[in-house]
Structure 1
Amino acid sequence: MKKIYITDLDHTFLRTDLSVSEFTRGTWNEMSAHSIMSIATARTYKKTMQFLKDIDINAPMILLDGALIATMDKKIIDTKFIGKEVGDVIIDEGAKFGIYPFILSLADSTLRETFSYSTLLNVHQKEVLKNYKNDDHHNRQSNLRAMNDNFKIVYFGDEVLLRELALHIEKIFGDGLKYILAPEAYVGCYFLTILHKDADKSHGIKSVSEYVGFDLKKLTVFGDNFNDIGMFELAGTSVAVANAQEGVKKAAKIVLPHTNDEDAVAHYLKSLKNG
């Protein structure tokens, strides 16, 4: 049976400047000839496709923190949505704290995405938007409302404020939703992501496993952040890059000597071939 490799993107497979080196591209694609290869990311389908140009992915991808499982040719395998009613309540509760979110939603069955946000933006959101200025799926609203099928709701701001907001929303919805509060490495603030309770990488791994039909013991996963630990717990081999969070390194079976900027994943895959 083929071995399976699934990697996180940001700060794991991608370099910090969001590029993929020729060494990583060549090593990965060579491995894909005889292995099952895919990714697990918080990124959208559209952004993932931009980053993975000329990268061979031969299994469904875990996207949007596990809220979407889809193939490169846009076949939807599984979705975990936040509905409009719940989304609108989250928006209104956040407004009481003086903060509005970004909302990633599914516009139609062709995987067209909608990126909704308020006209009222904080300094961190303005910085984030600089990376999306050329995208064509913006939905800027003076009275922000959720769509019917929302993948995730994301706040950017100061840690103390977002921690208070997370506790507040959790009091309303309890474990009916998933809450991820973590540092935002690119902008230098914190982000709070709110998702369907089953939207995570571990549920995504199970969906991909069922669809492809592979043995989790033959699965190797790569990651750097706490949202990767669910994958680590399921996989036969869990690998943390050198720049991973310390808690993630402790949860991994293998900690690599290389960082994402040093092509850590590719070096590991190359060592398997040469070993």
Structure 2
Amino acid sequence: MITITKKLIALDLDGTTLNNDSQISAKTAETIQAAADQGYIVSIVTGRPNRLSENFYDDLKLTTPMINFNGNLGILPHQAWNREYQYTIDKEIVTELLAKSKPLGLSLVAVEGRNMFLANQGLSSGFGFFPSTLTTNQILSNKSLKENPISITVQVKPELKQGLIDFVEQQFGDEVEVSPWGGPNPIVEIATKGVHKSTGLKFLADYYGILQKDIIAFGDEGNDLTMMQYAGTGVAMKNAIAKIKGLADEVTDFTNDEDGVARYLQDRLDIAVGA
């Protein structure tokens, strides 16, 4: 009797599975679906909230759990699941940030949970992540914030970004950690201390009974580092930042805009499309 070893493919979204238009190409979708059909367990592990990633989950026709908010939420999209988990932070931290938003230089304060999105204002340049206008039930205030959020995202004046990071770490450093976004935007995310993408990846591996050596993780940015280090094979995209490339086990021959994930899967794992 031949025993087939289960393998897990963990996919970051932005800069990895998504192209530069924030879409999944037909080639990438077809290849990932073929990998699932051929017995690989494929899961999305993203920094995005579930509200901005379930559409890609559906595009890929996945049925596996999805990890959101850089490991802080694990769900089966569109349904209740008794294994679902989430790490939340004290809403009093939000109250403090709102009270000190002017001296800290904060223009946007947004909080999210699995079924919650609140912000103090819309964002005219929301880079696709935040709405430009808010409905009445999306306006953040001490009264409207009724539960602890999974994530706090703030936009800060560039010259005050380090000051904000220092403030949060001094006041709440034993509870949360601060992660500046990659790229040019002066955005900082605050979430539970010690929780990273590797947290979600370990959850998936334990759930499916998969050894670390049988995990392949794709990524391109700093928030992918722990996931790629946890995986048996950490694969950096050709377009990844230098630090990720330097620590990865392998680097794709093509960028995210050139179907780098799909080409890797077809070439290195013999994923047969159309089989």
Q: TM-score, normalised to structure 2's length?
A: 0.86
Note closer, same or farther for the CA distance 1:225–1:142 as it changes in structure 2 (3 Å cut).
same
Root-mean-square deviation (Å): 2.5
Matched, 1:42 2:47: yes
Q: Structure 1 stretches of 5 or more lacking a match?
A: none
Please state how far the C-alpha of 1:94 moved relative to its aligned partner.
3.6
Matched, 1:52 2:57: yes
Matched residue, 1:175: 174
The answer to which of 128-137 and 95-104 deviates more is 128-137
1:197-234 alpha-carbon deviations (Å, 9 max, x no partner): 13310111112222222111100000000010001111
Structure with greater proportional strand content: 1
1:58-114 alpha-carbon deviations (Å, 9 max, x no partner): 4311101111111134336210001222332233344431314443333xxxx4x22
Q: Which amino acid aligns with 1:97?
A: L
Matched, 1:189 2:185: yes
Please show how residues 120-131 of structure 1 align to structure 2 within 5 Å: 125-128=123-126
Please show how residues 134-213 of structure 1 align to structure 2 within 5 Å: 139-141=138-140, 146-184=145-183, 188-213=184-209
Cα contact 1:94–1:165 (8 A) shared by 2: no
C-alpha distance in 1, partners of 2:172/2:137?
28
Q: Which amino acid aligns with 2:64?
A: A
Please state how far the C-alpha of 1:7 moved relative to its aligned partner.
0.9
Note closer, same or farther for the CA distance 1:248–1:171 as it changes in structure 2 (3 Å cut).
same
C-alpha distance in 1, partners of 2:227/2:120?
34
Q: Which amino acid aligns with 1:154?
A: T
Q: Structure 2 stretches of 5 or more lacking a match?
A: none
Note closer, same or farther for the CA distance 1:130–1:229 as it changes in structure 2 (3 Å cut).
closer
Cα contact 2:217–2:234 (8 A) shared by 1: yes
Please state how far the C-alpha of 1:259 moved relative to its aligned partner.
0.8
Matched, 1:231 2:236: no
SS at match of 2:110: strand
Alignment identity in percent?
A: 27
Matched residue, 2:30: 26
Q: Give the number of equivalent residue pairs.
A: 263
Please state how far the C-alpha of 1:14 moved relative to its aligned partner.
0.4
C-alpha distance in 2, partners of 1:208/1:137?
37
C-alpha distance in 2, partners of 1:48/1:159?
28
Matched residue, 1:80: 87
Note closer, same or farther for the CA distance 1:158–1:246 as it changes in structure 2 (3 Å cut).
farther
Cα contact 1:28–1:56 (8 A) shared by 2: no
1:114 corresponds, among 103, 113, 116, to 116
